[in-house]
Structure formats: C-alpha cells, structure tokens
Amino acid sequence: MLRWVRQQLGFDPPHQSDTRTIYIANRFPQHGHYVPQKFADNRIISSKYTVWNFVPKNLFEQFRRVANFYFLIIFLVQLMIDTPTSPITSGLPLFFVITVTAIKQGYEDWLRHKADNEVNGAPVYVVRSGGLVKTRSKNIRVGDIVRVAKDETFPADLVLLSSDRVDGSCHVTTASLDGETNLKTHVAVPETAVLQSVANLDKLVAVIECQQPEADLYRFVGRITVSQQTEEIVRPLGPESLLLRGARLKNTKEIFGVAVYTGMETKMALNYKSKSQKRSAVEKSMNSFLIIYLIILLFEAILSTILKYAWQAEEKWDEPWYNGKTEHERNSSKILRFISDFLAFLVLYNFIIPISLYVTVEMQKFLGSFFIGWDLDLYHKETNQRAQVNTSDLNEELGQVEYVFTDKTGTLTENEMQFRECSINGIKYQEVNGKLTPEGFSEDSPDGNRHSLMREEELFLKAVCLCHTVQINADQTDGADGPWHANGIASPLEYYASSPDEKALVEAASRVGVVFTGTSGDSMEVKSLGKPERYKLLHVLEFDPNRRRMSVIVESPSGEKLLFTKGAESSILPRSKSGEIDKTRIHVDEFALKGLRTLCIAYRRFTPEEYQEIGKRLHEARTALQQREERLADVFNFIERDLELLGATGVEDKLQEKVQETIEALRVAGIKVWVLTGDKHETAVSVSLSCGHFHRTMNILELVQHKSDSTCAEQLRQLAKRIKEDHVIQHGLVVDGTSLSLALREHEKLFMEVCKNCSAVLCCRMAPLQKAKVVRLLKTSPEKPITLAIGDGANDVSMIQEAHVGIGIMGKEGRQAVRNSDYAIARFKFLSKLLFVHGHFYYIRIATLVQYFFYKNVCFITPQFLYQFFCLFSQQTLYDSVYLTLYNICFTSLPVLIYSLFEQNVHPHVLQSKPVLYRDISKNAHLGFKPFLYWTILGFFHAFVFFYGSYLLMGEDTSLLGNGQMFGNWTFGTLVFTVMVITVTMKMALETHFWTWINHFVTWGSIVFYFIFSLFYGGIIWPFLHTQDMYFVFVQLLSSGSAWFAIILIVVACLFIDVLKKVLYRHLQPTSTEKAQLTEAGSGINCLDSMCCFSDGETACTSVRRMLERLMGRCSPTRVNRSWSSSDPFYANDRSILTLSTMDSPTC
C-alpha cells in the first residue's frame, strides 16, 4: 500500500528494473509465473495545470514570491485587527496582480492543452486481431504493432519490424528532433524484415528486451528474440533499429514497428525537461532593493509606534477629553496594544513595497521580447530565418555581457566544406578541373594530365567513398547509369550527409573519378573510372567523440575482408604501423596552418581467422544488455589497430560574413572573446588569426601538449611572469584540452590569472563538457562576470546551458543548440546588434523601470509617515482608500510601462557604430547602489516638498475658499496626492528621450484621467459606498486659485533641482552616451526630443533658462522630424522596426 502511494505521488517510479521486456502484439506467456510490467500510456502532456489543480497550484507558485506573500500577510492583518485603512486597499491590488498573472499563465497552459489534444487525438493504424484497426494516438500501448505510411510522423518510439523493401530498410528525417535534414537509414533484423503483410505480422512470436527510457536520442540498447518453430534467434537492437517519435518517414511507402516507449517515456518527451532557471542580475538587484525597503518600512513602523507611546506618556494626550477610552481599552495588555499598534502602522505604510512591480516587469519582458523577433536587421534572407526568443527573462542580461564563449565550426565559419588538398602516400595533391594533380605539377605538364589513377590513389579514393554515412536521394538511385564523363566529372547524384565534411569528400571523389552510387541491401556500389564495383558491407563501427574516428568492414569483389578507417590524426596516426606516417604528419600540420579541417585515412586487411574472431567479439558486445558501450569500445579498439596509412584530406570551412568586424566590435565594447573548439591546434590558431580573434601584433602564448601536473604548473608560472614583464604587448593564449584538464585540476587560480591578463583566449581539442567547465570557471570567479555562450551544434549545448545567456546559431549541425538556448540567431554577425542595441535598450529600460517604481512609492508613502506627526500618531490616513488602491494600478502605471517598451536613449545605429557606448552600462552601472540611493533620496526629497510645501502654502489659519471656509483633512491630503501624481508622471517624462504618440497619450492621458476620475468620484454620491469622505472635496480644491498656484509651484520646485542636476552633470561630466546624444543632435535630431538635453556650444545657464521657459510654457515649438537621410553615415540602410513611427516633437 505504501509503495502504491509513493508511486502515485511520483516518489517511486513504477519500473525498478534496469530493463523492460516487451511481448510483441502483447502476446503474454500462457504458462509460468509472469508479472506484467506497467508502462505509460501514449498521451503527451506538455501542460502544467489541470482544471482541478490550476487554482491551488498557481496560487502556491505566485505566493512563493516575497512581495505577493508580504501583501497577503498585510491583507490578513487588516482583516484581523482594527487598522486605519480598509482591507480593500491591500486586497484589491493583490487580487489584480494575482488575477493578471493567473490569466496569463492559464491562457498559455490552455494553448498547451490544445496542442496536446491535437497530437493525442491524431489517427493511427494498429495491428490487432489479424487486421488493421484505426484508433487514436493516445490509445497505443507498449507492444502494439503500428503501421506508418510515407511522410507520416511516428506516434511513439518504435522498433522497426519491416518495410516495403526486401531488406527491411527505411529512410527517416529527424529534423523536428535535432534539426538534421539528411536522410538516416534504419534497418530491421532479417527475421522480421520478411514479414511485410499484416497477416504474417499477426503470427509473429517475439520478445524485445531493452533498456528503460532515457533522454539520449542517439543511444538505444536492446535485443529481440524471435521464436521460429523450435529455435529462438537472438538479434541485437541499436539506434539503427529505433524510430523516434516526432521523426518522419521518407522515401519509403510504409513500415511496421512495435511500440517500445510511449507517451512521456518517449525520447522526444524526455528531452522536454525544463532547463535550470536562469536569473538575471537585475532580478537579483530587485530582490536586494525589496529587502532594503522592507527594512525602511519596519523602521518607520517601529519609530511611529515608539513615538506614539512617548507622546501618550503625557496624560492629556493619552486620553483627551474628546476621545475617552473604553473600559476594555483601559484593561487590555500593553504588550498586545503595542503589537496591535505596530501592525496598524505596518499596514499604513505597506505601500512603500511596490506590489505591481513584478507584474509590470513580467509584462515588459514578455512584450519587449517581440522586438527581437520583429527586427529585420536580425532576419537572414537566404535561409528565411528570424531571430527567436526562447526565454524573455534574460533580455536585460544582453546589456551586461563581459565574456563571450564561441564555438568555431558553424558559428564563426559557414560549415560549408570545400575539398582543397589531400596527401596520398606522402605526396600532396590538389584538385584541378576535376583531376587530382600532384603539388608542383600543372595541368599542362606531362604528369599533370593523366586519365588514370595510381593504385594508392584509387585505394585512397575508394576508402573515402566507402567509409561514411552519406545517403543518396532515392529519386536518383535509379539514374546512376546516367551521363558520365570518363573521369566522372558530371555527377547527377545529390548526396545527403549529417556531416558536411563527409559530403565534401564524397563529392570530391566523384569529381575525380571514384563515384559512390548508392547502397543496395547490404552492398555499397562504387564506380571507379566508369567501372562498377560492389562491396558487401559487413560491419559499421560508428563514430564517437571519444575514439574520434569511424570505420567500416567490407568485403571486396575479390572476397577480401577490408577495414577502412578515417578520423582525427591524433586517433589514426598512433594506430598506424605502416605507410608514409612522418610525411603525412607534416602535410597534416601544413593543411592545419592554412586553416583546413584535416582527417586521416587508413585501412587494414583481415585474414579469414582474424575476421572470424572479430565477428564473434562484435556479436557478443552488440547483444550485451549491460555495459554495451564499454564492451563495444574495447572491441573497436581491438579491431582498429595495426593500420596501414593511406593519407589525409584537407577541407576548407569558409568564414561567415562580417565575423572579423563583429569580434573587433566586441573587443571595443570591453567584451573578451574566448573561442572554444574541438579542432586541432594549428587549424584553430589559423582561423583565429583570419577572423581577427588573434591579431598579427599579438604575443601568442601557448599551453599545449602537457602530460603532467608539474610541467603544466611550470609553464603557467612562466606565462604569468612573461605577461607581467611585457606591459605594452597584447597577449593571446592558446590552450588544448589535455593541458586544460591539468590546469583546472590543481592550478585553477594561476590559470585564471593568466587568462584574465590575455586579450583573447583560444581553447582547442575541447570536449563538450570541458567547454561547460571553462564557462563555469569564469562564472564562479570572484568578479562574477556575466557570460554568454554561442554555438550551433549538439556539442555546444552544455556550455550554452551553463552560461548566463545562451545563444544558438541556426546552422547546419541540427537544432539542438537552438532548442536549448535562450536566444537563437541565424548568423554570428547578428550578435553585435543583439548586444549593443537590444541589450542596451532592454537594460536601460528595466533599470529605470525598477528604480522609478521604488521612487514613486517612496513619494507615495512618506507623506503618510510625516502626517502622523500632526495627528498624534493616531494612524489617521492622509489619502482616501480609493486613491491608496488606484495609485499603482491606474494613475502611475502606464507611463512607465510604455517607457520600458519603447525608450531609445540613443539611436540604434549610433549604438551599433559606437560599441564603446556598451561600456557605459556594463557591470550593472545603472542599477547599482549609487543610482538606487539617488532615486531613493530623490523620492524622499520630493515627498518632503509635497507635504511641507502644501502645509506651508496653506498654513494653519489661511482661508483658501471664497466663502472663507478653511481646508479640511481630506482636502489637504487630496492636494498632496494631486501634486504627487503630476510630479511623478512629469518625472517619467523627464526620463523619456524618445517620444512616440503612445508616450504622449499615456503620459498626459494619465494626468487627465486622474482629474476626470476625481471629479466623478467626488462629485457624485455613490450608493454602494459605505462612507464618502471625498464628496465634493476635489471640486472645492480646484475652485481655489490658491490651490492651483500651490500645485504649479510645488511641481516646479520638485523638478527644478532634478533638471538642474541633469544639466550640470551633462555639461561638466558627460558620459560617452551623453556625448553620443550630442553627436546625434548635431546630425539632425534635436536633443533626441528630450526635455533635458542642450545643444553643443550652449552654456549651462542657457540650458537652464531654456528648460524653465519650456516648463513655464513660454517656448515656441517648431516641428522636428526624427528621420535620417540615406547619406548619413550612422543611419544608412536602417531596417530596424524598433522605431514605431516618425515622431514630431517640440523643441526650443
């Protein structure tokens, strides 16, 4: 019973065994003790909530936020004790925030439910009771035989049983899983491949044993036991037998497969797992500010409580004649009274914590993220790909990056390989007009114009044509005998390959006369100078990153058993015992220095006895259910030895457009670029020099080929000493994977010291996990820099997930990097606009948004605190409860939200053309302690001016109404509130540099709305209100000329100091950004339409005078068009849609 409960709660998974046993067509054994295993159904569930758990689960998640939980406590306190304000004042804003967030999350989850229902309800065909039965996808069970037709997606993870082809093979594309568009071949075991009809499959008696579900798309270990009459045949099952849910059947009429993993246990569903939540630096700052304001709140509440009891120490104030105590109040406990008063003050001042900040920030991030996808400058026309945002929580982090970690292949380069050179038997060759020409020979020379191939050359090219995973378009396989020249130049075949290197090599071989014409069953067909040859494919030893090589074992037409191997030179040359090893090694290094990607090719002949031993070992390893990978690795190493070296290839990977300019811009912006690649040392250095990562004038330091801790440590100390001695020279560091492992193991601090003093770092021969370790090393260093990782392949996923910001390149190595990234772009060059423009704007906007929220709440609640000194700390509220409730929700919310979506303090093209401006916002410059302190002090200053300005102008005995009637308590509070709403809205206007019609509408509209609302609220007796203290108060206030004078004077007094400070700082200590604004102003934008800019050549006094004239309404506006001519150097070819519209705005 306990175990069942644990299973239902998810603590105890239903399957404890390491393997699962599946009876095909669910034919369970009729005899013996059999305990059926429980498997998941085939429903896909990507939704987060159900109808039953939405309310409790969503509320639980929302109240985990400190601000929401705090307001809930305040609301409960208001319900339990007698507090000065109504519970509605806390409850309504809390309800609004919770409801808006719940609606947003509920809508998103409803869309997920809708998508799930479409998938789960898709029609499928299943073999049951000797026939095909149509059912829904969600009804498929483990063990069911499923039929899938051409171009349909697989509804579950299926083991292939048979296809319409005799050999039981089919072609599949996994583009929706990993983005690879090449056709992959999957093969059924021979015993089931012949069962091509429903009737035959219905008679099949077989059992599959395989591993439990795991997320790795490329790993599957199992075996199938087929019962035929009296014998049982056991066959191994690997990834080549498994058809993954989400993949699509291509070039095959139909297949039958048995479901082994269903629903949320399919590999596609297991890869849904959510990434670890990344938090931005702004969010951390926000939480720190909340704690500081909570301390301020507690201080004000405790001080008010103490002062209340200090005041009441005098008997005349403890119980005045007009407000006597009840018997219960006289006899109540003093401690309880103190706690009750403290909680009452806490409720009175609680609005200093901005509850709507979270929901506004969420809306700003969600809506603001659309600008990246809409930006046409980030659109790649050739591939029809836009930038995409996978998470909007890190938008502002794009403006804080200090380190960029980038992959090389496919990220800095095009990943479009072109064959350039090769080395065969110690001789270098180049391709010239479809012929292999030895180096030093021209096409016109006697040896350069040959129509035949030497034996070594032909064997090398055959190795290239046989050792690969290339596929041919099925529509062309019948046309292999098409028009061929004598040397095979005109190839009509279209090749598909998961590796661009393989495709380039096979195409190059076809151009020079050895053509791979396709596969037929277990045979590979090759044409050598027009003569067809058929090789029987016996075994494929798949590529893996640890061996860094792949091999095939084939039987030649003469019956000889051959092993062809290709891989990195570090994995082939040590295993070679013959051939031109030394010459080839020199050639490989020369290719690498030219920036070419290198592969070595070797072969081995087997005797019949050797092949028999190999076949036996391979079968044992491949049918093992436990430790299959380790056993296979041992067998592969046993086979791939005593090789004869044939030669090496050099393939060029072209640099992407504008890579050099982008890296240089990043450097100017103060961002350090590290290149992390799996390529060999010489290739990586060559590409780093060509892309501008390393300069020719740089002193390049090396930490490579170290085998022991001691030599690595000694080299690190020498490098550190050398850097200290060379003060002027820029340094670049090259480190390889093995040396990096040693450096990180024992000498982490010394390694980091060397790296930080280098302008550029290149790490070569890196494994995927090593890339992540390097990123983590920088992330956790004492300075805690913000890191960004960018890559295009599955080997980059670990570093993309590790970095603060992960960016995937939509390249040719699949979509794994894109799926696991925070942002995705089509080309590396787009990184500059993403950081310098979008990152800059997002950071400026969110920094102002957060600090403005705290500022306006200090302005809001401080007068409430000051008022207590004038009412004997009786907890009398200064504002009406409706104003308390609507201040953050209606009166001041929209201007700051619109500002946070559209603000551009500098034009995008200025930001992109002047990367140095990025330094102005780095290291959280606008959201550090100093700016926060400035906004807080400004808030307190404005609050004091609001309160004491109103108090002094009204006086104690001043009659401000025409009939001699004096202002009362609510009129005074309304005057303070009116001044406050106007001032905080005007303050937002002062911060706005870029005015659109939306900004004007919400800024001035908020003030107008406040006046209209107040007139209606106080001018009508509302029957549903319990009390109406504000009746006719606002109308009387506006009928007084003195009140209008006070409003104008106090607003000007508040903003004048702020304007003066801005003008003086701009004049005396301008930042790079402010200088750029002046440059922009000189280019045709008059002070960026800002109310606080001044033109070049003006004195501070002129600026102040102009500002006062503007504030007093004495300036004569002219219409200014914010636009740029095509001849302007900064703004040519602007396709950015960040600017909503051309904006006419007044200037003096």
Q: Distance between CA 574 and CA 581 in Å, rounded?
A: 9
Q: Choose among 705, 883, 639, 677: nearest CA to 789.
A: 677
**Nearest 5 degrees, angle CA 1111-CA 1115-CA 1116?**
150
Query: Distances in Å between the alpha carbon of 454 and those of 241, 462, 587, 1037?
Result: 40, 12, 20, 104
Q: Distance between CA 208 and CA 186 in Å, rounded?
A: 17
State the CB neighbour count (10 A cutoff) for residue 254. 16
Query: DSSP letter at 213?
Result: P
Q: What letter represents residue 717's amino acid?
A: R
Residues 6+ apart with CB under 8 A from 327: none
Q: Distance between CA 908 and CA 914 in Å, rounded?
A: 10
Q: In 814-920, where does DSSP find H-type helix?
A: 816-819, 830-833, 840-867, 881-886, 893-902, 908-913
SS3 521: coil
Q: Distance between CA 43 and CA 263 in Å, rounded?
A: 5
Residue 638 is encoded by which pair of tokens? 């046993």
SS3 65: coil
Q: Choose among 126, 160, 141: nearest CA to 263.
A: 141
Q: How many helices (H) and strands (E) does the chain have?
A: 40, 37
Q: Distance between CA 900 and CA 364 in Å, rounded?
A: 6
Q: Which entry of 144, 407, 679, 880 is annotated as an active-site residue?
A: 407
Query: Distances in Å between the alpha carbon of 124 and those of 121, 149, 419?
Result: 9, 10, 45
Concerning whether 202 is annotated as a catalytic residue, the answer is no
Residue 723 is encoded by which pair of tokens? 């850097």
Q: Compute the chain's Rg from CA coordinates.
A: 37
Pairing of strands 731-736, 699-703: parallel
Residue with tokens 């001016």: 945
**Nearest 5 degrees, angle CA 1080-CA 1084-CA 1085?**
60
As a whole number of angstroms, the longest Cα–Cα distance in the chain is 125
CA atoms within a 13 Å half-sphere pointing along the CA-CB vector of 279: 7
DSSP string, 226-293: EEETTEEEEEEE-GGGEEPTT-EEES-SEEEEEEEE-GGGSHHHHTTPPPPPP--HHHHHHHHHHHHH
Known catalytic residues are 407
